[in-house]
């Protein structure tokens, strides 16, 4: 029983811990997120291993720098063969355009499928107060929509956004635009450091394409059972 809309977050700090977790989850999960913690600890071999296991990979490094540097970074990361990768929308249109062009050019050069690029909008750990602290003068929701529109105009395939904004992004950016939502918490799970959250069912009903789920699966006593319970809950959504 697999649902490709679920991306399990491998928020561990070693290659061995990652292998153990993937083994425990078995065939219940086919898509994994590799974030900063794991990639900076274990490096590209993580992506290579997951691809050898016939898993899809969401490489979530939130690349954010001047346009040239981001373009060259995305060009290098494209060689790893991840399915999804992220840049930070706060870098602006030119930065995202260079990222999109670099991914396209490098994939064509290598004869591989181009990775989907996603723009991170406003982190799900931020609420209105935190957003104002860093100078956000508009609401979080309106800022997310503006960044999502900018990402689409720059040739980016989708966004990483809170499930609370997924419906508005879907209406604004259309049916083909990817919306990947972290901040997913089953009703029985602890909120922890996430602020703008939703249950898996709510996120999908709001327009999410994919759900990134970390601790409710990976820190459960039986991760596979936890994953399968979520899969069963969203089967009809």
Active site residue 229: no
- The enclosing H or E element of 74 equals helix 67-78
114 is in an annotated binding site: no
Q: Among residues 62, 116, 152, 195, which one is catalytic?
A: 62
11 is in an annotated binding site: yes
224 is in an annotated binding site: no
Query: C-alpha distances in angstroms, 16 versus 23, 24, 44, 167, 232?
Result: 11, 12, 14, 38, 29
DSSP 162-220: -TTTHHHHHHHH-TTSEEEE--B--TTS--TT-SS-B-HHHHHHTT-SEEEE-HHHHTS
193 is in an annotated binding site: no
55 is in an annotated binding site: no
Question: For residue 12, how many other CB atoms are within 10 A of its CB?
Answer: 20
168 is in an annotated binding site: no
Helices 15-25 and 223-233, interaxial angle, to 10°? 50
Structure tokens at 96: 């995202």
185 is in an annotated binding site: yes
127 is in an annotated binding site: no
152 is in an annotated binding site: no
64 is in an annotated binding site: yes
Question: For residue 221, how many other CB atoms are within 10 A of its CB?
Answer: 6
13 is in an annotated binding site: no
How many Cα atoms are found within 13 Å in the side-chain-facing hemisphere of 91?
26
231 is in an annotated binding site: no
Residues annotated in a binding site: 11, 33, 60-69, 124, 185, 194, 214-215
Residues annotated in a binding site for substrate: 11, 33, 60-69, 124, 185, 194, 214-215
For the annotated catalytic residues, the residue numbers are: 62
């Amino acid at each position: 029983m697999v649902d490709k809309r679920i991306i399990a977050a491998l928020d561990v700090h070693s290659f061995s811990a990652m292998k153990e977790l993937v083994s425990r989850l078995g065939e219940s999960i086919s898509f994994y997120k590799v974030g900063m913690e794991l990639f900076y600890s274990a490096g590209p071999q993580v992506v290579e291993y997951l691809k050898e296991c016939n898993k899809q990979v969401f490489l979530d490094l939130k690349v954010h720098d001047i346009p040239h540097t981001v373009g060259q970074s995305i060009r290098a990361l494209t060689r790893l063969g991840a399915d999804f990768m992220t840049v930070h929308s706060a870098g602006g249109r030119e930065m995202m355009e260079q990222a999109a062009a670099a991914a396209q050019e490098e994939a064509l050069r290598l004869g591989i499928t181009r990775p989907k690029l996603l723009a991170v909008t406003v982190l799900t750990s931020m609420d209105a107060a935190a957003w104002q602290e860093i100078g956000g003068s508009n609401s979080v929701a309106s800022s997310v929509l503006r960044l999502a529109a900018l990402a689409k105009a720059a040739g980016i395939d989708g966004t990483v956004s809170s499930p609370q904004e997924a419906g508005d992004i879907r209406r604004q950016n259309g049916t083909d635009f990817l919306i990947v939502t972290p901040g997913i918490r089953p009703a029985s799970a602890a909120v922890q450091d996430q602020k703008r959250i939703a249950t898996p069912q709510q996120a999908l009903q709001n327009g999410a394409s994919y759900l990134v789920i970390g601790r409710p699966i990976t820190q459960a006593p039986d991760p596979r059972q936890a994953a399968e319970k979520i899969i069963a809950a969203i089967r009809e959504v």
